[in-house]
Amino acid sequence: MQRILIVEDEHAIRGLLAFLLRPAGYEVLEADSALTAIDSVSGQRPDLVLLDRMLPDMDGLKVLKIWRTEASTSRLPVILVSARATEADRVEGLQAGADDYITKPFSRDELLARVQSLLRRTGNGSGGVPELREIGGLALDVRSLRVTVDQQPLPLGPIEFRLLNMFMSQPGRALSRQQILRQVWRANAYVDQRTVDVHIRRLRAALEPTGHHRLVQTVRGVGYRFADPHSARGARPSPSRSDSPEETPVRTS
């Protein structure tokens, strides 16, 4: 059962959130202050956090920033819940690292849709998403957030991890930079498309020592694709070739 931590100092709202989430099949944990929430997360890791922005002891954004700077919680799925509904408030929340933003008052349907959507995107959804992806010796564990190459741990930054997770969950599919932005940077679309290229370069560099960078293919005029190992062109990469692989259209010149 997936566990959701509700961080909310107002008893009535906390009770309402729990009342809506429990029948939908979630285990609900509650925290009525920032410090309780931080304690709770460090003890029993939830699958998702609903974080109120205005808490009595600390700004919710500050709690979020604390989680984002800690390696163990940097990818914790967090939805900010706030009565502050202006665009500037949302942008501020997303830039602080929130995965999504819900404004009060919210409807039951919106709450459940956003929770389910985020759990799906972070690979914790109950829709049969495998927790371990393995392609050509490269393995990514969604649960422990670890990547290994031929059983050796491969340290990756949070964005590179999300990129790799996105690629490995849909091998063979050509993805535009816009699609990659949406999937990896999630609701935070205030990122330039060139940022995608920067992080692709970083991911390739991390994969290069074992030749797995060749799995991250450039699709000319579109974006990128992760090689499908079950198709002919996606066989285990050969480390001897160091050029960046491209899907080159037939040239008639």
> Footprint of Ca ion on this chain (CB under 5 A)?
9, 52, 54
Query: What secondary structure does DSSP assign to 241-253, as a single string?
Result: --SPPEEPPPP--
- C-beta of 64 vs 138, nearer to Ca ion: 64
- C-beta of 59 vs 150, nearer to Ca ion: 59
In whole angstroms, what is the distance from residue 20 CA to residue 84 CA?
Answer: 22
- C-beta of 101 vs 167, nearer to Ca ion: 101
Q: Of 132, 184, 140, 195, give the one whose Cα is nearest residue 162.
A: 184
Q: Of 128, 129, 158, give the one whose Cα is nearest residue 146.
A: 158
Structure tokens at 135: 């392609």
- C-beta of 9 vs 30, nearer to Ca ion: 9
Min dist. Cβ of residue 20 to Ca ion (A): 17
DSSP reduced 3-state for 53: coil
Please answer whether residues 139 and 197 qualify as being in contact, where contact means their C-beta atoms are separated by less than 8 angstroms: no
Min dist. Cβ of residue 79 to Ca ion (A): 15
Q: Which residues contact 1 (CB under 8 A, 6 or more apart)?
A: 25, 26, 27
Min dist. Cβ of residue 9 to Ca ion (A): 5
Min dist. Cβ of residue 17 to Ca ion (A): 12
- C-beta of 7 vs 142, nearer to Ca ion: 7
Min dist. Cβ of residue 104 to Ca ion (A): 9
Buried b (16+ CB within 10 A) or exposed e, 195-231: ebeebbeebbebbeebbbbbbbbbeeeebbbbbbbee
